[in-house]
Structure 1
Amino acid sequence: MNVRSKVELADIAIPSTADTMPTAALMLSGPPIEPLTRLMTYDSGKWEEFINEWVTSLGTTYKSVQRFTGAGDKGVDVAAFTDSKQLLGVWHNYQCKHYSKSLGPADAYLEIGKCLWFSFNEEFDPPSRYFFVAPRGVSTKLGLLLANKSKLKAGLYKAWEKTVSTKITSTRSVELEGDFKAYVEAFDFTIFEAAAPLKILEQHRKTPYFIQRFGGGLPARPKVNDLPETIDPHEAVYTKKLFAAYSDHSGASIQTPKDFTGLPKLRKHFNRSREAFYHSESLRVFVRDKTEPGTYESLQDEVCDAVADTCDGDHSDGLARVVAVTDKAQNLKLDAHPLSPSTFPRDLKGICHQLANDDRLDWSDDD
């Protein structure tokens, strides 16, 4: 006997994208991933790298920051030092844990045990602050223990034999007795705390590493300040080279802006060159704290490599060389460079003058 199925079937609705416009970036990489979600995909090594970057954002709080990797780190992942004594001075420990769940008491007890044991054995002075850092934060239970130090210590004692004693080192069991127990009794458990992932991200956003890790691009550039009337000392080299190029072109001796009398086209070119220089200087300052070290310098290198042959070519005079090189620069396509979206043609011309200022480009044979 045939039994008719009573299961009702329905067509699967295809999600509509009619209200969005596809972009090249979307088609290439898919929708952006929220930073907190991206952190969940890290392995323990990348998580420690991220925390190391974050700690650098804490500014003048620390004299130096070091990341300890590999076996035998004695429970020190990222150490931040406030003085030159490092592990024997005043320092903070950032204990990195990257698990598929929030950090629980058992995880914390073992790390606290390591801190107690190795500081007792004078491997390092106890840190003045000890942070647990995990992408999913700490569990409610651990959070409550960290907020109540007497209960944290009591919980450690209770869990010691099962969770801690045999896992501190691979060579022996560490018993909570004798001088070591007296050391633990007197230890300041208020140093242990947890760092909130969202706060970490908020502070990491201020580092030059954030954009490369999480994308999103640079913010809009501020307007460039008005050109100063007088030549600043840091403009001395490239402006001197321009004066030599103008002298080569005109046959007149041009050593200061006052010598442009009767030469309006050269004066205008000089003013445009200074404007371009300051435009590129504003870009350099703009990206300095928003990108990794060397990012702007790599843009300068790209421009230098692109215009080198033009600069070395034959030209009727120094000014002709300047014009040929800066024209070549402003027409460059640097789409693959991370600063491309924030770079204008005038910046590229200005970079040529920055390179001249650094003695990487010359306009006249006697420069």
Structure 2
Amino acid sequence: MISNTDLYDINPKVPTCKASPVHVHSGVPIPKVMRVRVFSPEDWEEFIQEWASSLKTQYDKVRRFGGSGDLGVDIAGFCTDQGFRGAWENYQCKRYDHPLRPSDIWVEIGKIIYYSHIGEYVSPQKHYFVCPQDIGTSLEKLLNTPSELKKKMAENWDKHCLAGITSTTEVPLTGALLSYFDTFDFSVFSSKSLVELIEGHSKTGFHAVRFGGGLPPRPDPEFPPETPAEIESRYIRRLLDAYGEHLGVSMLDPDALNAHTPLKRDYLRQRERFYHAESLRNFARDTVPEGTFGALQEEIFYGVIDVCESSHVNGFERMKATVAQASSVAATSNPLASAVKTQDRQGICHQLANDDRLIWVQEDE
């Protein structure tokens, strides 16, 4: 019979952090490392592709290889324009349901040694192993001790590499290959932890969408330079045409506005709005997937085009009405929504004018 001494009061553990509305809505956040460990094969492949895009700042070129003829190469980072004939580094991203073990990588090391020996490529200056379950302790110890790694590799060659490197022929560790093996620098083999991968991934535009947590703080926009930049020429020309139609005079350049103080103030405000939108474009490039800002521009365009193409007294009134309408376009479905300001929506109108999608002075007026 069960004794009363075996019974305990229900006493849930007190949370180590204060509850917040986010917790109530979405639950306690799952650490990013734990998320990666339960990725499906498809999610892992997508994550690796996204992470690999962060390597483009480190190398001249980054390429992904796949299929049975990959020659031991998964993700290659080329340090020069010579490709596999120059300095390069390899990332072998293995997906297993357990931390990576020595038995998982013998054939991969064998491929690098064999194919660099026969001249398919020069030996990589670094070869990193990556796994969603991270690197096991026994393998990490071997990778940190090149001499022991070399010894164990020789012991396991026949079992894992003799028939495992290529399906067309056996590859015995003898003769010239053995001599090459003996001089091979095993310190090139190393690993990347999940924490390191996630840190690299955080520098891509895919991070917030995949892991959540919101967008990082947005930098303040640049203040417009006194002399307009080349990227402003098109929309400024359209602004001057709109001001000119309003006044009934020709506006050759912004200096013509010096005699019209209200319009000069308006001109300066429009330039500030344009630079706000350019700042958002740059922010989007680094924080959200490609095409996100373009989708926001498209939403603003369809939110204002009917107003823009309606009848107006002149181009200046059309521009003012269109920019005012842009302020009311919510764009809440866009991933950038939390970072978008009123000035951004207004400034996007001038980006669209730069692209000839919004025109203030209509030919039929």
Cross-structure match for 2:306: 309
How far apart, CA to CA, are the structure 2 residues paired with 1:19 and 1:186?
A: 58
From 342, 357, 361, the counterpart of 1:360:
357
Q: Is residue 107 of structure 2 the alignment partner of residue 85 of structure 1? A: no
From 45, 51, 68, the counterpart of 2:65:
68
Q: Is residue 26 of structure 2 the alignment partner of residue 32 of structure 1? A: no
How far apart, CA to CA, are the structure 1 residues paired with 2:81 and 2:250?
A: 56
How far apart, CA to CA, are the structure 2 residues paired with 1:49 and 1:89?
A: 28
TM-score, scaled relative to structure 2: 0.88
State the 1:261 CA deviation. 5.3
Alpha-carbon distance change, 11 to 190 in structure 1, aligned in 2, over 3 angstroms: closer
Q: Is residue 347 of structure 2 the alignment partner of residue 340 of structure 1? A: no
From 233, 243, 253, the counterpart of 1:236:
233
Cross-structure match for 1:291: 288
Cross-structure match for 1:163: 160
How far apart, CA to CA, are the structure 1 residues paired with 2:205 and 2:18?
A: 34
Alpha-carbon distance change, 233 to 87 in structure 1, aligned in 2, over 3 angstroms: closer
Check conservation: 1:52, 1:65, Cα contact below 8 A. Answer: no
Q: Which amino acid aligns with 2:278?
A: E
From 256, 277, 285, the counterpart of 1:259:
256
RMSD of Structure 2 on Structure 1 (CA): 2.7
Paired residue total: 362
1:128-158: per-residue Cα shift (whole Å, max 9, x none)?
Answer: 2111112333222222222222211110111
Q: Which amino acid aligns with 1:222?
A: P
State the 1:168 CA deviation. 2.2
Q: Which amino acid aligns with 1:132?
A: F
> 1:2-13 alignment to 2 at 5 Å?
5-6=2-3, 9=7, 12=10
Secondary structure of 2:62's aligned partner = strand
Check conservation: 2:56, 2:62, Cα contact below 8 A. Answer: no
Q: Is residue 216 of structure 2 the alignment partner of residue 222 of structure 1? A: no
From 160, 168, 175, the counterpart of 1:178:
175
How far apart, CA to CA, are the structure 2 residues paired with 1:356 and 1:350?
A: 10
Q: Which runs of 5+ in 2 are unaligned?
A: none
Alpha-carbon distance change, 22 to 355 in structure 1, aligned in 2, over 3 angstroms: same
1:210-254: per-residue Cα shift (whole Å, max 9, x none)?
Answer: 222222222222333444333333322111111111121222333
Check conservation: 1:43, 1:98, Cα contact below 8 A. Answer: no
Alpha-carbon distance change, 146 to 13 in structure 1, aligned in 2, over 3 angstroms: closer
Q: Which amino acid aligns with 1:246?
A: Y
From 102, 109, 112, the counterpart of 2:109:
112
Alpha-carbon distance change, 306 to 196 in structure 1, aligned in 2, over 3 angstroms: same
1:268-303: per-residue Cα shift (whole Å, max 9, x none)?
Answer: 322221121121122222232222333222221221
How far apart, CA to CA, are the structure 1 residues paired with 2:172 and 2:259?
A: 92
Check conservation: 1:44, 1:97, Cα contact below 8 A. Answer: no
From 120, 137, 140, the counterpart of 1:140:
137
Alpha-carbon distance change, 85 to 259 in structure 1, aligned in 2, over 3 angstroms: closer
Q: Which aligned segments of 4 or more residues in structure 1 are displaced greater than 6 angstroms?
A: 14-18
